[in-house]
Structure formats: C-alpha cells, structure tokens
Amino acid sequence: MGQTLAEQILSRAAGRPVSAGENIVARVDLAMMHDSISPSIIKILHQELGAEQVWDRDRVAVVVDHVAPAATIQNAEHQLALRRWVRQQQITHFFDVGRGISHPVLVEEGLARPGMLILGSDSHSTAYGAVGAFGAGMGSTDMALALATGQTWLRVPETVRILARGRFRPGVGAKDLGLRVARLIGADGATYQSVEWHGVEELSVGERMTLATLSIEIGGKAGIIPPTGPGWEEHAARRGIIAPSWLCVEEGARYSRTVEVDLDTLEPQISVPHFVDNVRDLSELGRVEVDVVYIGTCTNGHANDMAAAARILKGRKVARGVRLLVVPASSEALQQATADGTLATLLEAGAAIGTPGCGACIGRHMGVLAPGEVCLFTGNRNFRGRMGSPEAQIYLASPEVAAATAVLGYIAHPAEVMR
C-alpha cells in the first residue's frame, strides 16, 4: 500500500512506518518561533518544563517578524528579551527586524527542506509544505516541549488531495486556486488533515507558498506540494537542495477525498468579508470601491507576487484616494525587487513600501484600518477586525487583482487594466 506524503514524512520522523489515524511521537527537524509568541514559549520552557537549554541550538530558528520594527515599548521589550535569550542559548539561526517573515526566510535560508517535520509557533507554518516539508503550527506549550526535547506527538493526519487540471488563464494564479478550494470545501473542509496539492508542478516555490499557507485556512494540519517539477527544480538548484528519494507521490496512497479544480475555466477569486471561505468569482462581485490595497504577507508578499503586481502597475498610477501599501515578505524578496526594477515600478506607481515582515496583516502596526475602510488584501485572513477596526471590510485576492484594483480604485480584473 502506498503512503501519502504526510505519512512518508511522519514515518521517517517516528522511525517506523506509520499511517493515518495513528498517534505517534516524532522527532522534530526544525522548530521556529517568532517575536509574537516567544515570551510565553520561553517562560514555559524554563519555568514550567524546567529545561535549561533547547535540545539542539542548530535546529531552532528565531525570527522577529510580527511587529518589526517594534511599534510599542512592550514589543521592544519582548524583542530585547528574545535577543538576549538567543545569545544565551547560542541559537544558530536568528533573524532580526527586517529579514522578513519567518516562513519565506526559512525557505530562502535552505533551513526548510523536503521531508522535514517542522513546527512553528505560527498558524501559517503549513508554509513549509512549499518545499515538501510537513510544517505545522502549534501553541506555546507544544512548542516549548519540542524545544526542550526535540520531539512532539501527533496524530498522523488523513490527506485531502487537491487535483488541479489544465492551465491558469492570464491574470489568474495560485491565490485563485487556493481561494477556489476554500470555496469548494469550506474553512473546515480539511480539519486536521494534510492537504496535498497536485497538478501544480509549474508553480515556483513562491507560488507554492501561497497554496501551502492557505492550507491552514481550510483547516489543514499541513499543506504539502510534492517537490517535483520546474518550479521546484529552480529552487533546488539555486539553493543546492536535493529532495530525499523516499519522498514521492506513491500509487495506492489513500486520500480521504480528492477535490478537482479546472484551471482552464478558473477566474479571479475574491474572498469577501468576513470569512476566508466566503469566496466569489470576481465577475459575480459587483462594484466594490476600496480605500487601501495591501500587497504582502507569507501568502502573497513574495518576489514573484510583487513582480506580478508591477507588470500591471508599470507606467500606471494608483487611483486618487487609494493608498497602495507593499510589504515584501523578506529582505531577499526586496533585494530581488530592487535588482529587477520591480521596486522602482511600484514606487513610481505610488506605492508606499514597508519593512519586510508581517506588516499590517495582524492589525498591530504599519497600516491599521479605520472604521468603514475597505481593503483589498493579498493576505490570508479577512476576519472581522483582523487588520484593525472591526468595522473595516477586508477582501482577499491575488496580487494581480490587487494591482488592477489599485489602478482603478475598485476591485477589478487585471484584464480591465491591461487591455
């Protein structure tokens, strides 16, 4: 009998063949924590678990990304305490203010690799599935336990298979696929399951991260894209990464469900307030005027996302009365955008650029929304109050739709601008 990718990874992590439904104790390859949750994790680690040292200082990554640079004294204090802790524990992999969002950073640094079990103190840790890892978000106590012991316990999840067929039409991409799946199966459609994305071999690792991060928005425990295809090979060659031969899509693997999406007919998808799975085709939306367009986050703040937006914004200006905020997912994405002219295009169009990191995604700084404001957001969550005022409206869409919307002032198809 074949295994799903999740079963393969967790079998290796457990040191024995395991299958869906089993409870296992597994070895953790990498544990990530960020500035937002670290104070409680550190407290539990030392005070409640009594551990003096992390289990392996080379397998812990610490990232300052959630409110960076610090917006309040409290943030500054937490970040200072975190830096001291990193020095005291001699943590090898520490990424301070401005390096970017934990998930792309760990991928860029080659720390996240295919076949790994990676735990993160962040719900979008499913992101590591973009490079064929089993990435899962966990709470402070589980994270502290993993830091202390290098182990965690898990129930091996069942797997939902997403099967994309055909090719994306112009102006349609990974974000639309992800939102389409949320629409098809709902926010709890894959609760505690692994989401395997098939038929997306062409997608770059940046685009794969869009799908992997959105996997949590349908309840996924992990979201894994098989590390094959041209998009993967480009990343693997550049970073010198070889996917383990035991990690491959196997005949006879058991899926709880297969969800098919026809890319040939897929049009831009818009998630309307206030739930991620409240998704409509752009053509069904009607006219929605916006105050803010925000391009960023671990879902769609990558170099490819900014470049996609820049192709539409090139030679055009942001509509009067609309502000366009662009927050690169990482310093590497910013550097690439600097080198290839994307950043110049965005600035010329009228964008305000923010420090690489989580930005306003969680409503804690760098673009908090006022009551009544409407925001077109390339992020992953549009819950009431997510980006500030509970009376603000957040629509989720792709960077291409974001760029077209910034130019026209209302939520628009990229073709409306490009024609």
Partner 1 sequence: MGQTIAEKVVSHHAGRQVMANEIAIVAIDGAMATDATAPLAIKAFREMGGVRLWDPSRVVLVIDHAAPAPNEQVSNLHALMRAFGREMGCVLYDVGEGICHQLMVEYDHVRPGQIILGADSHTPTYGALGAFAMGVGSTDLAAAWLTGKTWLKTPASIKIVLDGTLRTGVSAKDLVLFLVRQIGADGARYQAVEFTGSAIRSLSLASRMTLANMTAEMGALTAFVDLQGLDLPYRFDPIHPDPDAVYSVVYSFNVDHLLPQVAIPHAPSNVVPIDEVAGTPIQMAFIGSCTNSRLEDLRAAAAVLQGRKLAPGVRLIIAPASRQVFMMALQDGTIATLTESGATFITAGCGPCVGTHQGIPGNGENVITSTNRNFRGRMGNPHASIYLASPAVVAASALRGVITDPADVL
What residues form the annotated binding site for [4Fe-4S] cluster? 298, 358, 361
Task: Decide if residue 69 touches partner 1 (CB under 8 A).
Answer: yes
Cβ closest to partner 1, residue 242 vs residue 339? 339
Task: Decide if residue 340 touches partner 1 (CB under 8 A).
Answer: no
Task: Decide if residue 370 touches partner 1 (CB under 8 A).
Answer: yes
Q: Which residues, 376 to 395, sit near partner 1 by CB under 8 A?
A: 388-389
Of 48-56, 224-232, 241-249, 323-331, which segment contacts partner 1 by CB under 8 A? Answer: 323-331
Binding-site member from 124, 323, 381, 413 for partner 1 (CB under 8 A) = 323
Task: Decide if residue 72 touches partner 1 (CB under 8 A).
Answer: yes
Task: Decide if residue 1 touches partner 1 (CB under 8 A).
Answer: no
Report the alpha-carbon distance of residue 181 to residue 261 in Å, rounded: 8
Binding-site member from 366, 396, 402, 412 for partner 1 (CB under 8 A) = 366
Contacts of 353 (CB under 8 A, 6+ apart): 326, 327, 328, 343, 346, 347
Task: Decide if residue 373 touches partner 1 (CB under 8 A).
Answer: yes
Task: Decide if residue 314 touches partner 1 (CB under 8 A).
Answer: no
Cis ω before 274 (30° cut-off from 0): yes
Binding-site member from 4, 8, 38, 79 for partner 1 (CB under 8 A) = 79
Binding-site member from 15, 17, 43, 76 for partner 1 (CB under 8 A) = 76
Task: Decide if residue 362 touches partner 1 (CB under 8 A).
Answer: no
Task: Decide if residue 83 touches partner 1 (CB under 8 A).
Answer: yes
Instruction: Output the smallest distance, CB 80 to partner 1, in A.
Output: 3
Task: Decide if residue 348 touches partner 1 (CB under 8 A).
Answer: yes
Of 113-121, 165-173, 317-325, 411-419, which segment contacts partner 1 by CB under 8 A? Answer: 317-325
Instruction: Output the smallest distance, CB 370 to partner 1, in A.
Output: 4
Binding-site member from 343, 396, 402, 411 for partner 1 (CB under 8 A) = 343
Instruction: Output the smallest distance, CB 100 to partner 1, in A.
Output: 10
Q: Which residues, 193 to 212, sit near partner 1 by CB under 8 A?
A: none
Cβ closest to partner 1, residue 242 vs residue 370? 370
Report the alpha-carbon distance of residue 241 to residue 396 in Å, rounded: 33
Three-state DSSP string of the chain: CCCCHHHHHHHHHHCCCCCCCCEEEEECCEEEEECCCHHHHHHHHHHHCCCCCCCCHHHEEEECCCCCCCCCHHHHHHHHHHHHHHHHHCCCEEECCCCECHHHHHHHCCCCCCCCEEEECCHHHHHHHHHCCEEEECCHHHHHHHHHHCEEEEECCCEEEEEEECCCCCCCCHHHHHHHHHHHHCCCCCCCCEEEEECCCCCCHHHHHHHHHHHHHHCCCEEECCCCHHHHHHHHHHHCCCCCCCCCCCCCCCCCEEEEEEHHHCCCEEECCCCCCCEEEHHHCCCCECCEEEECHHHHCCHHHHHHHHHHHCCCCCCCCCEEEECCCEHHHHHHHHHCCHHHHHHHHCCEECCCCCHHHHCCCCCCECCCCEEEECCCCCCCCCCECCCCEEEECCHHHHHHHHHHCECCCHHHHHC
| Site residue total, partner 1 (CB under 8 A) | 47
Q: Which residues are annotated as a binding site?
A: 298, 358, 361
Q: Among candidates 99, 110, 101, which has minimal Cα distance to 331?
A: 99
Task: Decide if residue 335 touches partner 1 (CB under 8 A).
Answer: yes
Task: Decide if residue 353 touches partner 1 (CB under 8 A).
Answer: yes
| Orientation of helix 303-313 relative to helix 205-214, angle to 10° | 100
Instruction: Output the smallest distance, CB 348 to partner 1, in A.
Output: 7
Cβ closest to partner 1, residue 79 vs residue 194? 79
Cβ closest to partner 1, residue 163 vs residue 353? 353
Residues that bind partner 1 (CB under 8 A): 69-73, 75-77, 79-80, 83, 87, 96-98, 321, 323, 325, 331, 334-335, 338-339, 343-344, 347-348, 350-356, 360, 364-373, 388-389
